[in-house]
Amino acid sequence: MKLLVAIHDVSPAHAQSVQRIWNHCSAAGVQPALLVVPNWHGEWPIADYRVFTDWLRECQRSGAEILLHGERHDEHGTQRTLSDELRAFGRTDHEAEFLTLRFAEARQRIERGLKCLESFGLSPVGFVAPAWLAHDECAAALIACNLGISETADAISLHRRGTRLHSPVIRWSTRAAWRVAASELVARATTISHGGHWLMRIAFHPGDVEHPGTWSSACETLSRWLERRRPWRYAAL
């Protein structure tokens, strides 16, 4: 029985929160995967933050996996259709960067993101679309970019093998008070209902540490899962 732990939205924009989550996971014996955004909302290019990229490189050297998490993590320059609106309803505040992107543009953004991270000595093992939402053509773009692993909100795809592994994920939302309360309840319920699932995920976001109740729930959840299974790696899949 495996557990994948990841920190989303890794960017200089959230450096302190990301490092706080990292430190907590490390103290618990976990090296979480880091889902890196090369240029958060087009305003935080990691190339301008050498201390942060040095830290990412050190994390990678210590064993952390790097995954590309979009290029900007917003929907700037894209336009949703009604179908897109329905798919994204209630799941994101217009941060699903790859929701509407067809093959060519998805490939371009992925290639730019990879080139950016690789220029700092980072070697992404996979890709996670912001908000876990992407157009169907994104899978072909990932294969074209030689990325074999991606994930959605309910599964992990191993593209070279043509395999899709069902994998529930526990995460929290702090965008509204009702979401805070609901996500804490869902985290507890998921821990109970999926306790026997062979491949679980815990996804931390920078906002989790900003709300005391959410952070307490996140820490407690990680501790409970580590009592019953060992941390795993994306590449090991």
DSSP string, the chain: -EEEEEEEEESGGGHHHHHHHHHHHHHTT---EEEE-TEETTTEEGGG-HHHHHHHHHHHHTT--EEE--SSSS-TT----HHHHHHHTTT-SS--TBSS--HHHHHHHHHHHHHHHHTTT----EEE-GGG-B-TTHHHHHHHTT--EEE-SSEEEETTTTEEEE--EE----SSHHHHHHHHHHHHHHHHHTTT-SEEEEEE-GGGGGSHHHHHHHHHHHHHHHHH-EE--STT-
Could you read off the pLDDT of 207-218 as tens digits, one per residue?
999 999 999 999
pLDDT for residue 157? 97
Residue 180 has pLDDT above 90, yes or no: no
Distance CA 119, CA 97 (A): 22
Q: Tell me the per-residue pLDDT of 114-166, one tens digit each, with 9 for 90 and over.
A: 999 999 999 999 999 999 999 999 999 999 999 999 999 999 999 988 999 99
pLDDT class for 179, splitting at 50, 70, 90?
Answer: confident
When pLDDT is cut at 50, 70 and 90, the band that residue 176 belongs to is confident
Average pLDDT over residues 219-235: 95
Angle at 166 between CA 220 and CA 92, to 5 degrees: 65
Asked whether residue 236 is assigned to any structural domain, the reply reads no
Domain harbouring 160, CATH code: 3.20.20.370
Is 39 among the domain residues?
yes
Residue 7's domain comprises: 2-165
Question: pTM (2 decimals)?
Answer: 0.96
**Residue 216: C-alpha distances to residues 94, 172, 188, 207 (Å):** 27, 11, 12, 13
pLDDT of 94 over the 90 cut? no
Residue 152 lies in a domain: yes
Note the pLDDT tens digit of each residue in 44-77: 999 999 999 999 999 999 999 999 999 999 989 8
Does any domain span residue 200?
A: no
Q: Is residue 227 part of a domain?
A: no
Q: Does the structure show a pLDDT above 90 at 177?
A: no
Count of domains forming the chain: 1
Which range scores top for mean pLDDT: 3-12, 84-93, 173-182?
3-12
What pLDDT score was predicted for residue 83?
Answer: 87
Answer yes or no: is 98 within a domain: yes
- Domain annotation covers residue 118: yes
Q: Percent of the chain beyond pLDDT 70? A: 100
Look at residue 129 in the predicted model and tell me its pLDDT. 98
Q: Does some domain include residue 204?
A: no
pLDDT of residue 92: 86
pLDDT tens for residues 189-202?
Answer: 999 999 899 999 99
Mean pLDDT of the residues in the chain: 95
Percentage of the chain exceeding pLDDT 90? 83
Asked if residue 86 has pLDDT above 90, the reply is no
Could you tell me if 126 and 150 are in contact, meaning their C-beta atoms sit under 8 angstroms apart? yes
